[in-house]
Each structure stands twice: as C-alpha cells, then as structure tokens.
A and B are shown apart, each in its own frame.
Chain A
Amino acid sequence: MTRADALRAIYPAIADRPVVTIMGAVAAELQAIGHRPNFFYLQHAMGLASSMGLGIALSRPELRVVVFDGDGSVLMNLGGLTTLARYRPRNLVHVVFDNESLLSVGGFPTATSTGSDLAGMAAAAGVPRTATVRTIDEFAREFAAADAARDLTTIVAKVDAVGPSGYVTGLALLENRFQFQRYLTDRR
C-alpha cells in the first residue's frame, strides 16, 4: 500500500473534517490530491501534530478531527500517546502512516523497522481502539469503523517507503494557517 493510495481511499470521508498532517510526504501528497481549507499541514515541529489535534478536539467537541501522523513523528513524542489516551477525545481519529523510515531525509530506518509496534504502544498507553493495517481495503474499513465508533482510535497504516519527488508546495505556511483558522471560526 502506498500512502498516496491510502489518502485517496479516504479522501471523500475527510471532505468536511478538520485534518492536521505532519510535514513531508503526507503534506505534499494530500495537497497533490487536493488541498481544502480544512486541511492544516504542520510543516515542522515533529511530534506535535497529534498534540495539535488534541487541542482542537478538546476545544471543539462538536468537530470530528483527523490527524495524519508518521512513525518518525510519533517516535519523537511517545509521551503524547499517553496524553491523548488520558483525555480520550472521542472526536479524534489518529492515523499513523508507518513506512519504517525517515523518508524525506534520506530514508534511514526508524525503530519500527526493527520491531517497535506503534499500535501496541498506543494500546498500552490507553488508546481504546487501535489497529494495524496493511492493505487499502483494511485501511478504508478501519477508518470507517473508527468514524462510526466515535471513540479515540489510532490506526497504524503500514505503507511503502515511497513519496513525492519534492516537499515544498505552492501553499505558503501562513496562508494555510490563517485559512485553517478561518475555517474553524466559520464552523462555529
């Protein structure tokens, strides 16, 4: 499964969801599929996308938030899994694209390549629903199930270590930030 195909599979389901992504391939690929004002790309601060999603989810319980995380980013903020689980926002789906590498900086392997199990860590942290998926069908099914369950879910999607040729897009960081804030304000 490629990350781009996985994103395409659930793209219709996130049309009206506040989405926070990490930097790098996820941000570039989601923008290539089609940027929307409800998508925010945290283009640095590795590890904090899930914390940002938690901040939005706690502040606006009526919104259903989606975070697209990565193995490298989650590994930088493993404690954040315990905070997520502790507050258990039922309006947050946490997707971790695990390509077992730091793709955008040379493809060096992360610890998930040697057996560290992020879904297992999320479950042990107390996240009530977790899954590891390896195919597009499984991913789409788990994402829909997480949505229907209305409970905090971490889905680890094992994806190929392939990505776009470049990571800088035409969307300026601050344009994205203010557009996303305006989207959240207008949804009140």
Chain B
Amino acid sequence: MPVSTSSSRVVYDALKGTGVRLISALPETWLVHLIRMAEDDPEMTLVRLAKEEEGVGISTGAHLAGVKSAMLMQNHGFLASINGIVSCAQLYRIPLLMVISHRGGFGERDPWQTEGGGVTEELLRALRIPYECLDDSSRVAGRVAHAQTLAYSSLKPVALLLTRELMWEDPS
C-alpha cells in the first residue's frame, strides 16, 4: 500500500510535539500508519470510534479534563461529524484539532470518494473553521503547531487537510 510511512511519521511526531496525548480515529487508507503509530505509542491514548462524531464529544471531554487531543478522520468522517462540531465544539468553544484526509481530489481513483472531495473546503469555509493543507513534509511541523496555537487562543475548531501529495507515494 503506497501510503507514505515517512510523511505519516512526520505528521504523527508533529501532533505529539504539540502535546497531543489522545487521538480518536476511524480507519481509512491514508490513515493506516498514523493509527498504527498511535496504537504503538504507550504515551498516546487511541480511541477507536464507531462513527466520527463521537470523537467530537471525546475531545470535548478530554479538553475540559486537561488533555490535548486530535481527531483523525477522512473528509467523509468530517461530513458525518458536522452537527457535533457545530452544536458541541463551536457552541462550547472547544479547541478541536481535526486532521482530515482530503480524499476525492485530482488523482483520486476510487469513484466513491469523488463527491466528498469537492465539498470539504467549501464546508470548512461555511463553518468558518480555519484550515490549511499539509502537502509538504518539510512544512508539516510548523503548520500543525500553528493550527494548535490558533485552536487554543481562539478556543475553536481548526482543521488540517492531509493531501495526496503528502500521503501517497505512487509506485509509477
């Protein structure tokens, strides 16, 4: 599976570097290495979800209890979480760090992923959730740290989109 192990490591280390100690996740192809890294790290609490919206509640509880967390999900998981994001994280001013694999853009071969890719950024903008794309591994650590800083200063959700350029190593 040509998901980049090295980029996954860079993203994982960046999350951990900002103090993240709890990760909630629902597996998807681009996230496999990240989830394994969380699973293998004795300092990380990994919560495997049935549906992504649960992660909003878990991160809210963790934040109020003093633990930094992140949600790992596909953009369709973000779509499935929107009520929780609005009526829990935004309503209660929770610094929610969402790391979202941005499937369905140029280069997408899976037909079933192609609708979500086109609406993800529009929805983030509509929800006024600040976001940036992670497309260059040399800039990941800085962007993750900046996202976390804004989440905590504004007490609001922020999103980082994992792009194909970062996460996928085409064998061709």
Contact = CB atoms under 8 A, between A and B. Distances in A.
Contact of B57 (A18, A49, A82, A184): A49
B50 to A, nearest CB: 3
Interface string A69-101: 000000001011011001100000000000000
Interface of A: 18, 20, 40, 42-45, 47-60, 63, 77, 79-80, 82-83, 86-87, 173-174, 177, 180-181, 184-185, 188
Contacts of A20: 61
Contact of A58 (B22, B50, B64): B22
Give chain B's interface residue range (CB within 8 Å of chain A): 20 to 34
Contacts of A56: 61-62, 64-65
Contacts of A174: 92-93
B49 interface: yes
B121 interface: no
Contacts of A86: 48
A63 B65 CA distance: 10
B128 interface: no
A20 to B, nearest CB: 7
A45 B91 contact: yes
Contacts of B56: 45, 48, 51
B51 interface: yes
A59 B51 contact: no
B83 A59 contact: no
B54 interface: yes
20 contacts: A40-B64, A42-B88, A42-B92, A45-B56, A45-B57, A47-B53, A53-B61, A54-B47, A54-B57, A55-B65, A55-B67, A58-B58, A59-B45, A79-B50, A79-B51, A80-B54, A177-B64, A177-B92, A180-B64, A184-B66
Contacts of B61: 20, 51-59
